[in-house]
Amino acid sequence: MMKNDILNTKKLGYKFYFQDGDNQIACFGSYFTGKEEIYVNDDLVSSKRSVGRKSTHTFEFNEHNYQVKYHMLNIITGKLECTFFKNNEQIKQQEQTVLPFIKDPKRAVLFFSACVLAGYLGGYSTFALIDLVVGK
């Protein structure tokens, strides 16, 4: 088990945890920078930046080969799948969504549209207020 949770220092991103015997594998992926990091018992074993929809981290630990694969399933909702392999055998798979309250694409489009409309109305109101105060 990990003494400290290294991912608690990471604020904005996906956080996946896998257990292999006494070893905890912690996987982090940043929402914004694409930086991905894999830790085994708080020790960094793999790190890279990815801007694609899929990426793979391969590393060795205690004479075993491990892989962690990321697959972005839905860019709109930010749904990411993380799969953990040991010696080429899939151990576990997890999914996370950036906006956990939006699990379905139709709701994501509705949420996005509402944000665009709110931004438009806010911008228009600000412009109208400035125009009213400053005048022509």
Q: Which helix (H) or strand (E) segment is 90 a member of?
A: strand 89-96
Per-residue burial over 86-114, b if 16 or more Cβ lie within 10 Å, else e, is beeeeeeeeeebbeeebeeeeebeeeeee
Which residues have CB under 8 Å from 4's CB, separation 6+? 42
β-bridge mates for residue 65, sequence order: 60
Q: What confidence score (pLDDT) does residue 39 get?
A: 94
Question: CATH for 6-100?
Answer: 2.40.128.180
Quote the pTM value. Answer: 0.68
Exposed (0-12), middle (13-18) or buried (19+): which is 51, by Cβ within 10 Å?
exposed
At residue 95's C-alpha, the angle toward residues 48 and 75, to 5°, is 70
Q: Can you list the residues of the chain whose pLDDT is less than 50?
A: 1-2
Q: What confidence score (pLDDT) does residue 123 get?
A: 94
Q: What confidence score (pLDDT) does residue 101 get?
A: 61
Q: What confidence score (pLDDT) does residue 1 get?
A: 44
